[in-house]
Amino acid sequence: MLALLGALNLPVMYFSVRWWNTLHQRASMAPVMLWAMLLCSVAAWAWAWAWAWAWAAAATLRRAQLLIAEREAHTRWLRAMQDEAPVSAPAALPADPV
């Protein structure tokens, strides 16, 4: 329903510039500014894209780390690593309830 209303509203928005030309100013941006605006928007999109992928990679690696710690919870090497950890660092896994 919203798509239908949007499709019907599109010609009205387009032709409103011609119908009420006293309300709208003509294009007054210099071509140099258009390129600068394009460059800034592409840079912003690239920055957001890079951070999204970095966050996804970090979340995936952390999940893999937790799965390995959970799978190897009863092995000696992980227990030794947890015992050697500094006091201020949180443990990889909580103590076993068994």
Q: What is the largest CA-CA distance in the chain?
A: 80
Q: Is residue 72, in this structure, part of any structural domain at all?
A: yes
Task: Tell me how far apart the alpha carbons of residues 65 and 61 are, in angstroms, rounded to a whole number.
Answer: 6
Per residue in 45-92, pLDDT (tens digit) is: 999 999 999 999 999 999 999 998 888 888 887 778 777 766 555 555
The predicted structure's pLDDT at residue 55: 97
Q: Is residue 26, in this structure, part of any structural domain at all?
A: no
Q: Is residue 65, in this structure, part of any structural domain at all?
A: yes
For residue 37, give every residue at least 6 positions away whose Cβ sits within 8 Å of its Cβ, in sequence order, or none. 29
Q: Does the predicted model carry a pTM greater than 0.75?
A: no
The pLDDT confidence band at residue 11, using thresholds 50, 70 and 90, is: confident
The pLDDT confidence band at residue 95, using thresholds 50, 70 and 90, is: low
Q: How many domains does the chain have?
A: 1
Buried b (16+ CB within 10 A) or exposed e, 69-87: eeeeeeeeebeeeeeeeee
Q: Is residue 63, in this structure, part of any structural domain at all?
A: yes
Range of the structural domain that residue 78 is part of: 51-87
Q: Is residue 17, in this structure, part of any structural domain at all?
A: no
